[in-house]
Chain A
Amino acid sequence: MAWLRRVLGGFSALLRKHRVEQELDDELRAWLDISIEHKVRSGMPREHAIRAARVEMGSLEAVKDHTRDVGWEAQLESLWRDVRYAVRTLRQSPAFTATAVLTLALGIGANTAIFSVINAVMLRPLPVERPEELISLATGYPDNVEPVFSYAAYRQFAVDATHVADAIAASSVRRDAVTIDGPPEPIDHKWVSGNYFTTLGVPAAAGRTLLASDDRLPAGEPVAVLSDAYWARRFGRDPWVIGRSFRFKTTAFTIVGVAPRGFFGETGGEAPDIWMPLTTRPGAPSSVWKGHSTTWLGIVARLRSGITLAQARARLEHVYDGIRDGVAAGTESSEFRRNVLESRLLVSEASGGSSRLRGPLATPLMILMGLVGLVLVIACANVANLMLARAAIRRRETAVRLAIGAARLRVVRHGIAEALLLAAVGGLGGLLVASWGSSLLVTLVSGELPVSLDVSPDIRVLVFTMVVSCATAIVFGLLPAVRAARIDPLRALRVSGGSGGTVRMPLRRTLVVTQIAVSLVLLVVAGLFVRSLLHLKDIDLGFDPDRVLLFQVTPPADEQPMAMEDTLNVYGRLLAQAESVPGVSAASASFSGLFTRGTWGNAITVEGFVPRPGVTPRTLANSITPRYFDVMRIAVLAGRGFTDDDHDSAPKVAIVNQTFARQFLGDLDPVGTRVGLCSSDPCGSPPMMEIVGVTEDAKYVDLREEKQPMLYVPFTQIDQNLRQIEVRTAGAPASVAATLHRELAAVDRRLAIVAMVELRDQVNASILPERLIAMLSATFGLLALALAAVGLYGVIAYVTAQRTGEIGVRMALGANRRDVRRLVLRDTLRLVVVGVVIGIPAALTGARLLSSQLYQVAPDDPLAVSVGLVTLSVAALLAGYLPARRAAHVDPVVALRAE
């Protein structure tokens, strides 16, 4: 209980501070009075008595200080005094303070920004109840991981593993159109199991969420839940929206509720507008509900209480054994069957949900975190250097303080208070820099990927910033503070000029050398990433992605699926309309787009080609309109392209790419050979098409892909719908985008244009991680270089100023300006050389660790290293040249007189 009394006593003393002080004063005065009276009564003359009593008492202030120090609140108060003193001293040197705060704000801000994105992509738990209980399922095939399952597989998990976990299923978000009260409007929707909201523990913000009874076969009443953002955007938070309905394809859905604000589902980065029960999906063929031929559902499950991950895994794997057999039995492809039989179920913890971004962005973000950490090291070294310089200037002041009895601990404490204060202000500035920087990052990311990321600072980000700020304060503040306290007051005061003393400053030189070495590492790494990106950009795509606009059009809700004839008719009108817009040079349509996930692969049979036993020949395929090659600028190398004469009753034709020709026809002339698309396995005898042309190869899905065979067929001759319109523009696509959008929409009011993107953006999105890392590492490298240059300049300028006298003597003895410049530059060069000698091996070691992230660049790429070296040297010489020039203009007479 004594401690409690002490704590409370401290508080009451703090609250009644004035009275406590007053009482202490009174008590001391009483002591003196009684003491004097005592002495007078024992016969001492009054004046002597007064003096004696004073002497006995000693310093009144000292007694008070000691008495105050009894309570803990005194420590707090003295800390407060230190901080106030620090505020005063920092305000006296605004240039120093501003430089230090700016440096720290940039360093801490850059770190916080990267951490905010890491937090949003990887750390933030799903906004659901007890996210730590969630697990996610995937299938691991021998050479890839498949995150989606068939509906039948989901049902099996949900039913057979129900005593270990509650499984929910969700499709990925898709863009489509709904009709509410006027023309169709684009929305992002998601099909989810009926227990989706209840299992995640997400209550409705209005109305109700989905129920298990909404999701059954045969489908019940179609219902839908809106996201809060969509409710606000489309309906202005109108509470009467509950009960209204909208049409999605052929079906009318009733809105039954709104999800809570901030809830985006089980997959990070997605932002659906509408959730609908799986089984209400209109027009789905029966194969979606039976068998395993359509895999489209991600599965997340909540562990039942008391069940461990290992127990759940064992049970789920057992269920998967049954599913695997079903999948293997259901396929006709022997190749796929082999793959399936070797597959296994992957069960992983999923408190952050399943994130599409985590895979591609995790490694780049970690690398960036490391790089930005190095920037902070340089920033710390810079501030430490500034503080050391200031300590040198204030040597005399510190010496005086020590000489008149300040405790060394007090001097250290003051230094640390100053550092903490700088770090706190720097940290606040850092938060500003970070909020700006991280939203810039998100704009970069989501400009090309349709993702929404919440990077607003949460408690984790704030704690991170606070810890980083305190850590930096200790790193840059402790050393200078301890050194200041070690000053020998006698020596410091004796030295003339007050600021004299060590000119060699080994500590500050070490800091600068560290900065040079670390910034060289950052520059070399940035150089490697930039080179790697340039290599990626140099890859020959085989088509021209610039000035191409892509449109996705959804046919009228009540006419789906559209009859072939109508499709031809509608697309014919759309393309004609597009080509009539001024500024459009050509328009085409196709089944699959370039650099999208929705590719079409098919087994084939080629006349004269005998496959190895057990291997089914396969190719990518696409159905296109005649002008596709003109729009994409894919060169036709032999034969001809498609024309309007290749209509449905004309002889069936096809066009292949070079790889197709080489792979299946070897040295034969492909034109004239006949090929067929298999619709079963083994292939049998499909309708054959004659190859009429050969195009050059292109990249179809990804910049880094190997060359793949491709087979084009005219859309008129194949039962495959069109999903994308491509328009090549003469000028910048943005200038005609709005007109095009309007004109296309005007073709038929019942059509909805659900997406419009530039092909260039779609290509860029595929190398987003590489571009992110190249851009940011270059930014960090330059930031590091700037900080290091400032540090170098500071030290050289200071040393040179200290040597003014010496320089004056040299000049008086006949040295000319060039000699003086060389003297100072040699000093600079020495630091740079030492930094480089340390930095190069460090950079090479670091680069080797990153080599898996580089594309066609060796980790010791001579160009990257030399560009880094040259950049560093130029910056360093610039930093050294300014003091050198100043030194060269020293007037020896003035310099010597000042001595």
Chain B
Amino acid sequence: MPPEGKESGLVPGTLYMLILKVLALEPMHGYGIGVRLEQISKGVFQVNAGSLFPALRRLERDGLISGAWRITENNRRAKYYTLTAPGRAKLKRETRDWEVQTTAIARILEASLGES
């Protein structure tokens, strides 16, 4: 496994979910995904090529996204990734799991004596 998101401040294992989420908004090329992640997270997450490319390769291999070469708005060729149906289902599942977990974690962290 490539070192994932260590230096970018990502919670381990969440990069796949975030990429799926970004692609759920619109098809995007590699660089665009990185920029979008940074924008949405207001600069908290910075994902470099060394993390992003292996992640894209893995998602593509698993059939969750599919790539196709297209022309960008500035007339360049780039590989645009689109969410596939299994990818969409996976994102839904992961989002739900994530919410369940974070809620639970948040409860634990907010817990104070007397509450049980």
Contacts and interface: CB of A to CB of B under 8 A. Distances in A.
Interface of A: 2, 5-6, 9, 23-24, 26-28, 30-31, 33-35, 37-38, 56-58, 62-63, 66-67, 69-71
Interface stretch (B19-27, B71-79, B100-108): B71-79
B79 A26 contact: yes
B29 interface: yes
A38 B48 contact: no
A34 B50 contact: no
Contacts of B57: 67, 70-71
A27 B54 contact: no
Interface string B48-87: 1110011001100111000001001010111100000000
Contacts of A5: 61-63
Size range of the chain B interface in the assembly: 20 to 34
A58 B50 contact: yes
A2 B16 CA distance: 15
Top-10 shortest CB links A-B: A66-B2, A67-B53, A70-B57, A34-B31, A30-B78, A9-B61, A66-B54, A31-B31, A70-B58, A63-B50
A6 B35 CA distance: 29
B32 interface: yes
A70 B53 CA distance: 10
B78 A34 contact: yes
A33 B62 CA distance: 28
A30 B50 contact: no
Contacts of B62: 2, 5-6
Given A33-B76, A57-B48, A27 B53 contact: yes
A27 B53 CA distance: 9
Nearest to A12: B61
Contacts of B78: 27, 30, 34
B29 A34 contact: yes
Contact of B53 (A34, A35, A37, A66): A66
Contact of B31 (A24, A38, A66, A67): A38
Contacts of B54: 66-67, 69-70
A56 B47 CA distance: 10
Contacts of B29: 30-31, 34
A69 B49 CA distance: 15
Nearest to A27: B79
B50 A62 contact: yes
A71 B61 contact: yes
A23 B53 CA distance: 12
**Most A-side CB within 10 Å, residue of B29, B32, B53, B77:** B53
Contacts of A23: 79
A625 to B, nearest CB: 91
Contacts of A62: 50
A56 B8 CA distance: 12
A31 B61 contact: no
Contacts of A38: 31, 35
Nearest to A56: B48
B3 to A, nearest CB: 8
Contact of A6 (B49, B53, B61, B76): B61
A30 B63 contact: no
Given A9-B61, A58-B50, A63-B53, 14 more contacts: A2-B63, A6-B61, A26-B79, A27-B78, A31-B29, A31-B31, A33-B76, A34-B31, A35-B31, A66-B2, A66-B54, A69-B54, A71-B57, A71-B61
A28 B78 CA distance: 9
A31 B29 CA distance: 8
A37 B74 contact: yes
A619 B77 CA distance: 107
Contacts of B49: 28, 31, 56-58, 63
Nearest to A3: B62
22 contacts: A5-B61, A9-B61, A23-B79, A26-B79, A27-B78, A28-B49, A28-B53, A30-B77, A30-B79, A33-B76, A34-B31, A34-B32, A34-B72, A37-B76, A56-B49, A58-B49, A58-B50, A63-B49, A63-B53, A69-B54, A70-B54, A71-B57
**Most B-side CB within 10 Å, residue of A5, A31, A62, A71:** A31
A58 B74 CA distance: 25
A441 B76 CA distance: 75
Interface of B: 2, 29-32, 35, 48-50, 53-54, 57-58, 61-63, 69, 72, 74, 76-79
A67 B53 CA distance: 6
A249 B29 CA distance: 95
A4 B67 CA distance: 20
B50 A66 contact: yes
A63 B57 CA distance: 12
Contacts of A37: 74, 76
Contacts of A6: 61-62
Contacts of A63: 49-50, 53
A34 B48 contact: no
Nearest to A37: B74
Contacts of A70: 2, 54, 57-58, 61
Contacts of B50: 58, 62-63, 66
Contacts of B76: 30, 33-34, 37
Contacts of B74: 34, 37
Contacts of A66: 2, 50, 53-54
Contacts of A56: 48-49
A773 B45 CA distance: 75
A339 to B, nearest CB: 76
A41 to B, nearest CB: 9
B89 to A, nearest CB: 13
Contacts of B63: 2, 5
B15 to A, nearest CB: 13
Nearest to B79: A27
A31 B32 CA distance: 9
**Most B-side CB within 10 Å, residue of A5, A28, A57, A63:** A63
A9 B79 CA distance: 19
A57 B63 CA distance: 26
A36 B94 CA distance: 34
A5 B59 CA distance: 11
Nearest to B2: A66
A1 to B, nearest CB: 9
Contacts of B72: 34
A44 to B, nearest CB: 15
A27 B80 CA distance: 10
B2 A31 contact: no
Nearest to A23: B79
Contacts of A67: 2, 53-54, 57
Contact of A30 (B2, B31, B35, B58): B31
A66 B50 CA distance: 7
B80 to A, nearest CB: 10
Contacts of A35: 31
B2 to A, nearest CB: 4
Contacts of B48: 56-58
A12 to B, nearest CB: 10
B61 A27 contact: no
A26 B67 CA distance: 13
Nearest to A33: B76
Nearest to B64: A2
A39 to B, nearest CB: 11
Nearest to A10: B61
Nearest to B53: A67
A281 B58 CA distance: 78
A37 B75 CA distance: 11
Contacts of A24: 53
A56 B61 CA distance: 26
Contacts of A26: 69, 77, 79
B35 A27 contact: no
A694 B72 CA distance: 118
Contact of A27 (B2, B30, B32, B58): B30
Nearest to A58: B50
A66 B69 CA distance: 22
